[in-house]
Each structure stands twice: as structure tokens, then as C-alpha cells.
Amino acid sequence: MENSPQMRKWLDDLGLSHPLVIAGPCSAETEAQVLEIAHALKDTDVTYLRAGIWKPRTRPGMFEGVGAIGLKWMQRAKEETGLLIATEVANKDHVKLALDHDVDLLWIGARSTVSPFIVQEIADALEGTDKVVLVKNPVNPDLSLWLGGIERLHASNIKKLGVIHRGFSTYEKTKYRNIPEWQLAIELQNKFPDLPLICDPSHITGKRDMIFDVSQTALDLNYDGLIIETHCNPEEAWSDAAQQVTPKSLVQIMKDLRIRKETTGEADYTKELGVLRAQIDVIDNQLIEILGKRMKVADKIGELKKTKNVAVLQNSRWNEILGKMILEGEQRGLSEEFVLRMFKAIHQESINHQDRILKG
């Protein structure tokens, strides 16, 4: 699959003066709920009303969606408000029902993207469709798997494509529900700059009070739009209550987001510089996080040495690491001088950590 300006034609054809916004409840719960949210969003910058009709749940017994009846509710919402409608599909039966109910945008969820069998089944069912089809990143941080989903759909002659970045699962506890791993989305963006890239801050954060910051980061990284879960009574939502915002909050988020516009010849430079600096900010934050993890391991080594009455400094080990890192650095365009300075500082911090433990 090659990058092509035709990839984003469906988005350009919308003629939006702002980033694309897809919003609506995590799950369609009742007809009244769907219609209330739709009417609350109809005079905003929202283009697509989203709602989960079938909900993949980790364990049985949890709310798994209302099923096909919810598509009729969305059809009515579309008729009454003019909003286009969107939902997730996970098999060929979902696809058929969604197409029968004239759903405008379908997305493949993270749990489905991990399975080439599922994606191929969906691609076969959608072959030649003129609907917009978006692929969420797989649960695990695997760029090839993500791109593979797009390639399967493209091979089925589906022209209106895009991706949704919803973050990645991890065994570690962090402030995010799903770690963004921004660098993977950036790499995809660099490979296919014309493939529309949508951010899902609801699933990345899992918390409504973090949605604005993640949305701003996404726009700073030149994303094309946002998909934000929205509910008139979030606390009473049947699924993912903590990450849904009210329509009023959504409007405020969209109002407060900073969007760069090209107004002069100098704007191209400013915009590109802003994107690159936002990437640097993301990577710098990751560096700090990784260094923090390294020092925690150094602390454990210090505890072990204290237990066995072993000296902090191990010169043979230090020289081995340094020589290896210099070679690794050279392969990545880093000077020996820089690698030496950096690892000497890291090594000194590790020694300080272990020394404090031995003296404690």
C-alpha cells in the first residue's frame, strides 16, 4: 500500500474548517438516550454521532450492547439532526446490519485489529463499500499489525480509510487507561502522511478530566480529528462512565483547544515547528519515565548488594556497558562524546542511589 492524497479525500470532501469530531455515548442504551445526546450535539462541531451497538467485554455477564435495535435509534437520530452516524463492527454480521441501516462510518476495534482473521472477514464483507472505515490500533503496540489491518481493507477496494489511535494496554499501572505510545502513531503518520489519523482521548485516558490535555497533544501532533465519548448523564452510563463527558463539556473542550491555522507564508514553518516540538515533548517525557524506571532497578540492585555486602562500583560491568552503548549510539548517529557524557551521568545517578541504600 502506497501513500496517496486520495486516502484523505473523504475527509477533505467534508469541507470542515476545524478538526473532525466524532462524539456520542460509549454505548447506545435506550432510544431516548441516543436521541437526547444527538440533539445536544447537532449544533456543534460534531460531524459523526458515535455509539457502541455491540460491546466487546472482557468477561461475560457485563453489558454487551443493545444489539441491532440500537441501529434503528441511530437512524432516527440521523434523520432528526442531520448528523452522520458511526459504530464499531467486529464480524460480517455486524457489517451487514450496519450497512442495512445506512451507517456512514464503521470502525474496527482494538480487540478485533489484533486478529488478521477478524479483519479479513470484515474486509471481505465490506468489499467495495463507499462507507468510511477506520481501524483502531491493536491492543498491543504493534505497528505492523495496525498497518496490516489497513492493507487488508485497501486490498478489498475500500477507498475511504483512516486510523484511530486509542492507546495500548500495559501490565504497568500509569496515569493512563491505555498508554499513548505517541511515537508509534508518529511513525505511522510519517509513513502515510495522507492517511487520516484520529485520536481517541477517552480510551487513552479513561478519565474525563484528562481528555482536554490528550486532545491538545494530538492536535499539536497534527492529528486530523478526535473521537470523544459523550453522554448527557455520564455517571449513570451503562459502560465506561468515568471517561465520558457531557455535551456541554465537549463544547468547552472544542472551544479551548488551540488549533494552528495557516494565515501567512510564515505559518507553514510555525505549524511544522509546532508538530516537531510536540514530538520532542512526547519523547522527552518518555525519556524521563524510562530513566525513572532504570533507577528503580538500580535501587533493587543496591538492596541486593547490601544484603550480600558487595561494593557499589563494579568497574568491569561499567566498562562493558559503556563500550556497548558507544557502539549502539554510533549506529544511531550519536557521537561518542555525547554517549559518554550521558551514560556517565546515568551511571553516577545509579551509584548515588545505591550508595544511599547501602548507607541507609
Q: Do residues 268 and 262 lie in contact, with contact meaning Cβ atoms separated by under 8 Å? A: yes
> What pLDDT score was predicted for residue 265?
65
Query: Measured between alpha carbons, how far is 7 from 360 in angstroms, rounded to an integer?
Result: 61
Query: Measured between alpha carbons, how far is 249 from 237 in angstroms, rounded to an integer?
Result: 16
27 forms beta bridges with: 52
Query: Measured between alpha carbons, how far is 73 from 55 in angstroms, rounded to an integer?
Result: 16
Query: Measured between alpha carbons, how far is 229 from 166 in angstroms, rounded to an integer?
Result: 12
Buried b (16+ CB within 10 A) or exposed e, 128-163: ebebbbbbbbbbebebebbbbbbbbbbebebbbbbb
Say if domain 5-256 classifies as CATH 1.25.40.10: no
> What pLDDT score was predicted for residue 353?
93
Query: Measured between alpha carbons, how far is 282 from 276 in angstroms, rounded to an integer?
Result: 10
- C-alpha R_g of the chain: 24
Domain parsing of the chain, residue ranges: 5-256, 267-359
Q: Is 162 helix (H, G, I), strand (E, B) or coil?
A: strand
Task: For residue range 113-154, list pLDDT tens digits in order.
Answer: 999 999 999 999 999 999 999 999 999 999 999 999 999 999
- Beta carbons within 8 Å of 71's beta carbon, 6+ residues apart: 53, 87, 97, 98, 100, 101, 103
> What pLDDT score was predicted for residue 195?
97
Amino acid at 348: Q
> What pLDDT score was predicted for residue 296?
94
225 forms beta bridges with: 20, 198
pTM, full prediction: 0.81
Q: What is the dihedral of CA 197, 199, 200, 202, to 10 degrees?
A: -170
Question: Could you read off the pLDDT tens digit of each residue along the chain, which spans 360 residues?
Answer: 888 888 899 999 999 999 999 999 999 999 999 999 999 999 999 999 999 999 876 777 778 789 999 999 999 999 999 999 999 999 999 999 999 999 999 999 999 999 999 999 999 999 999 999 999 999 999 999 999 999 999 999 999 999 999 999 987 778 899 999 999 999 999 999 999 999 999 999 999 999 999 999 999 999 999 999 999 999 999 999 999 999 999 999 999 999 865 545 677 888 888 889 999 999 999 999 999 999 999 999 999 988 988 888 778 888 888 888 999 999 999 988 899 889 889 989 998 998 899 887
The C-alpha cell 491492543 sits at 139
> What pLDDT score was predicted for residue 174?
83
Q: What are phi and psi of 66, to 5 degrees?
A: -85, -15
Query: Measured between alpha carbons, how far is 336 from 56 in angstroms, rounded to an integer?
Result: 50
What is the architecture, at CATH level 2, of domain 267-359? Answer: Up-down Bundle (1.20)
Q: Which of 169, 236, 230 minimizes the C-alpha distance to 202?
A: 230
Q: What is the dihedral of CA 63, 133, 103, 59, to 10 degrees?
A: -10
> What pLDDT score was predicted for residue 40?
98
